[in-house]
Every structure is written in C-alpha cells, then in structure tokens.
Amino acid sequence: MNGTGVDQHKAVLLAVRDVMVQKFLQREAIWVALSNEVGQGFAMRILEIENESLRQVDAALKRIEDGGFGTCLECEEPISPTRLAAVPWATRCLRCQELEDSRQATEAAEPKLAA
C-alpha cells in the first residue's frame, strides 16, 4: 500500500480513536454515577465492548507503524481498499473474515458440552 493511502487510514483511525476515548471517559463517569448492581453490570458490558474496539484501533495504528497494515493476518493477501475504507481496523480480508464469522456463529450455535 502506498504512503498516501496509509496516511489517510491513519488519520481516520486517529479520529475514531479520539471519539472512542471521549465516549469512554463519559461512560466511565456514568458507570461511577450508577449505584445499583444492574446498572453497573450493564455499564461494565459497554465498557468491555468499547475497550475491545479501542484495542482494535490501537492494533491497526501499530500495524501502520510496523508496515503490516492492509495485509490479511490469515492469508497474508492484501485487504481490499474498499474494505479498508469502510473498516480501517480490519485484520482480515473479506474472505477470511467471512470464514471467521461463520466459524464463530457455529460455535455460538453449538451447545457447550463441558460447562
């Protein structure tokens, strides 16, 4: 991937990261304000999801530094520019992501045998 493309994705990622951190701080304030257990459990779940998203954005920024950005982690083929424009923190090409999604869907659908 050429330098200009990477710079654009980096700018998007940094902007998304900014928004996430802002939201994160707001959520934290709400979480602290919630005193009942149900509210805290709910807030914790949101924090977990947002923390995961932030981690993905940070990982993408790191891949830009390392030079691995835009390459699928599974098959090492280039991720399509359209996909990166939509999901700049994507770690897999569309084909590998679909395989991963269906694998996870299968896992979620199967009952856990050893609880």
Q: Is 74 in the site for Zn ion (CB under 5 A)?
A: yes
- Give the shortest CB-4-to-Zn ion separation in angstroms: 24
- Give the shortest CB-111-to-Zn ion separation in angstroms: 30
What is the DSSP secondary structure assignment for residue 36, as one 8-state letter? S
Q: Is 84 in the site for Zn ion (CB under 5 A)?
A: no
- The single residue among 13, 61, 72, 84 that binds Zn ion, judged by CB under 5 A, is 72
- The single residue among 57, 61, 90, 93 that binds Zn ion, judged by CB under 5 A, is 93
> Could you tell me the two tokens for 95?
């084909």
d(CA 31, CA 26): 9
- 78 to each of 4, 14, 66, 83, 84, how far by Cα in Å? 16, 22, 15, 10, 10
Say if CB 39 and CB 26 are below 8 A apart.
no
Stretch that binds Zn ion, among 19-27, 32-40, 60-68, 75-83 (CB under 5 A): 75-83
Q: Is 58 in the site for Zn ion (CB under 5 A)?
A: no
Tell me the sheet residues that pair with 78.
71
Q: Is 100 in the site for Zn ion (CB under 5 A)?
A: no
Query: Please, which residue, 45 or 95, has the CB nearer to Zn ion?
Result: 95
